[in-house]
Chain A
């Protein structure tokens, strides 16, 4: 398995609270991604990173911010969680040579 872990794996929080999800890799890959998966929408890209301190928005970035201060860690923050952000969040890393993505096991977030 690719060395990628997400934490927490499950979280229940209340509307208006901040939430941070962490993605950690041991593969030293340059590219890291955060996707969300919802029924009927497949996976949608939230933000991605192409290096330390280099990040860019995906198609559903509103309400989310990211940070990458080290190659191995990519953090996704919901500054003020809303019920519409209830979802399963997947982190992925990319093999820049093949373009193949390796996914974490997901973080299930419920916002009440």
Chain B
């Protein structure tokens, strides 16, 4: 079974709005990463947050991590049509293996 589960499974917003998606996981982690996948392409790394960090920013992205609740959120501010993609969380534990969730499909309407 997947370690990470994203919520919601799909999200539709207007350009300029913020998009928030959540990831829950089950076991202890070293880090949590978020990836984006455009249709028909490979995944692209967005941001990594370590287990001892609570919040991290990268451009229009903000990631939070709550290890007590075993959950993370990804916020995309001021969304653009180019942000239309699937977003995946991935949890890292020992051994350099990442376990991915099922993803959130985001549609940003112009």
Contact = CB atoms under 8 A, between A and B. Distances in A.
Interface stretch (A64-72, A78-86, A102-110): A102-110
Contacts of A99: 30-31, 33, 48, 92, 96, 98
Interface SS of chain A: helix, strand, loop or mixed? strand
Contact of B45 (A41, A45, A50, A102): A102
Contacts of A102: 45
Interface residues on A, range: 20 to 34
B42 interface: yes
State the 5 A-B residue pairs at the shortest beta-carbon distance, nearest first: A103-B42, A42-B102, A43-B100, A103-B43, A100-B45
Contacts of B41: 105-106
B43 A101 contact: yes
A27 B73 CA distance: 31
Contacts of A44: 2, 100
